[in-house]
Amino acid sequence: LTEHNMTDKLGRTIDYLRLSITSKCNLNCAYCKHSPSDGESMLTLAEIKRIVKLFEKSGIRKIRITGGEPLVSDDVFEIIKICKETDGIKDIALTTNGILLPDMANELKKAGLDRVNISIDSLNSGKYKQIARADSLTDALAGVDAAIEAGLTPVKINTVLMHDVNDDEIDDFILLAKDRDVQVRFIEYMPMGKEHDGRYISAEEVLSKRPHLKKCEETQETPGVETLYQIDGHKGKVGFITPVSRPFCEKCNRVRITADAKIRHCLGDNLETDLRQILEENDDDALMKIKAAIALKPERGFCSGFKTNRGMGNIGG
Ligand code: SAM
């Protein structure tokens, strides 16, 4: 195998893979439209091992493990180890609802995981239960502290803001960053599968009412994708991810693999490539086909509204 950078037809360097390792989830969030696929179509551990090797050879340097809920997969430790043992992979992150972190954080760190993003959409236990359909807020918050303890840092808390759901809790979320060194990141809600449903809140709307949020200098880590703010006296930071109001398609460096073995070129475009067919080839041919597939990445996502054929839980976020 020869090593290459992977670029698409627009010259964007693709070095970030979001790998969905299961479609199962221990929550059932109302807005996520997640439906677990049947077991047979799911990626096996052997397939994931080969995928990590081939995508690293194609130029991937950062892997985010996602799902479904990645921590319900029996293979999660092994998958992290595989990534860790793959030389070119410099950053291994995982996106989780955090519920299982109190028991798993230390072992995840030991396996080689660098950091976690934890999704929490309400700090009110009744409302959390309504959104996530499980009474698990206490566990998710304990998960945040367990992740900090275990050194899975910087810990990022992801909150999808929605009108009439959690827009009354914005300042409570910001307070999470007062005494904790975490990044609280507000993500613009994407009405997947619909045109609009009135829930979307723009970053601008939140910022215009909060002049005490002071913009930080852009870092190299996520140039153009998230904008970070600091507040006097706060240990942590507040971030905004703006796929709706300010899409970052021209800077997009990512490719996704779904738990049912499809290369998903773009979150907001239904183009997919069957990865199983590619995995039938020998390494050199498979590598060539992966690169050819990557080159097809659409210029922009969500061109015709949010008409995607999958909910977020079946893509991986
Ligand atoms: N189970 C893991 C978790 O809870 O983070 C990983 C999968 S989950 C699908 C990944 C992220 O997608 C979560 O932060 C979730 O809030 C976000 N998400 C789901 N539907 C969304 C939507 N319509 N718009 C924006 N974000 C969404």
pLDDT digits (tens, 9 = 90+) for 84-124: 999 999 999 999 999 999 999 999 999 999 999 999 999 99
pLDDT score recorded for residue 222 = 58
Residue in 116, 133, 160, 254 to alter for ligand 1 test, most ligand atoms within 8 A of Cβ = 160
Band the pLDDT of 38: cuts 50, 70, 90: low
Q: Which of 47-56, 134-143, 299-308 has the lowest mean pLDDT?
A: 299-308
The DSSP code sequence of the chain is ------B-TT--B--EEEEE--S--S---TTT---PPPGGGSPPHHHHHHHHHHHHHTT--EEEEESS-GGG-TTHHHHHHHHHTSTT--EEEEEE-STTHHHHHHHHHHHT--EEEEE---SSHHHHHHHHSSS-HHHHHHHHHHHHHHT--SEEEEEEEBTTTTGGGHHHHHHHHHHS-EEEEEEE---TTSS--S-B--HHHHHHT-TT-EEPPPPSSSTTTEEEEE-TT-SSEEEEE-TTTS--GGG--EEEE-TTSEEE--TTS--EEEHHHHHTS-HHHHHHHHHHHHHT--S-SSTTTT--SS-GGGTT-
Per residue in 197-230, pLDDT tens? Answer: 889 999 999 999 999 999 998 775 656 688 999 9
pLDDT score recorded for residue 1 = 47
Residue in 19, 35, 95, 308 to alter for ligand 1 test, most ligand atoms within 8 A of Cβ = 95
Which residue has the least CA distance to atom 23 on ligand 1?
Answer: 190
Average pLDDT, the chain: 93
